[in-house]
Amino acid sequence: MDSAAFQISRVPASADLAGIASRLINQLPAWFAIPEANAEYVESATRLPGLVAQAGTDCVGVLLHRRHFTESAEIHLMAVAPAWHRQGVGRALVDVLVADLKEDDCQVLQVKTLGASHPDPGYARTRAFYRSLGFLPLEETNDLSPGTPCLIMAKWVSA
């Protein structure tokens, strides 16, 4: 499967985007195991814009993002169908977002993920993925969800 096998589309917040997010989250129980958090992610797709990766008629990836300030944005959610892991879908989603943010004068993009002090091997791969895209760790904190270490990572969008 190469990048020609899928296409990335910009999608406004909607019930359709929420349905796509829900279907992909449900395929990834090792990453999305907290029902309340999953419901929040799905609800957020009704108010946050997103990017969708499609292979034919199948949605194989989704990325929701938000703009905090003119200078900064955040990846709120990214989920890629398991069969499409390590096929360039996640990288392509982030690359399209970064290109859009550069065009709109954004300077920094952040993402929050499970911190390294939690021994989850899936999230170790997630952190390595973001590092491979140029994200650097800024802070690990328990303040956002007590008992769950959150790693905040960021990358420069424009120099």
DSSP 80-115: E-GGGTTTTHHHHHHHHHHHHHHHTT--EEEEEEE-
Q: Compare 15 and 120 and report the one with higher pLDDT.
A: 15
Calpha distance 37→150 (Å, rounded): 14
**How many helices and strands in the chain, by DSSP H and E?**
4, 7
CATH (residue range 3-156)? 3.40.630.30
- What is the pLDDT at residue 82? 96
Full-model pTM: 0.93
pLDDT classification of 144: cutoffs 50, 70, 90: confident
**What integer is the mean pLDDT of 113-138?**
91
- Which strand (E) or helix (H) includes residue 156? strand 150-156
Residues 31-58, mean pLDDT to the nearest whole number: 95
Mean pLDDT of 71-84: 97
Q: Residue 148 has which token pair?
A: 């769950």
Instruction: Give yes or no for residue 159 having a pLDDT over 80.
Output: no
Asked whether residue 51 carries a pLDDT value surpassing 60, the answer given is yes
Lowest-pLDDT range of 23-37, 76-90, 123-137, 145-159: 145-159
> Mean pLDDT, to the nearest integer, of 14-34?
94
Residue boundaries of the structural domains of the chain: 3-156
pLDDT of residue 2: 55
- Would you say 153 and 111 are in contact if contact means Cβ atoms under 8 Å apart? yes
Q: How sure is the predictor about 103, in pLDDT bands with cuts at 50, 70 and 90? A: very high
Query: How much is the pLDDT for 26?
Result: 97
* pLDDT greater than 60 at residue 46: yes
Residue 78 has pLDDT above 60, yes or no: yes
Provide the pLDDT for residue 158: 79
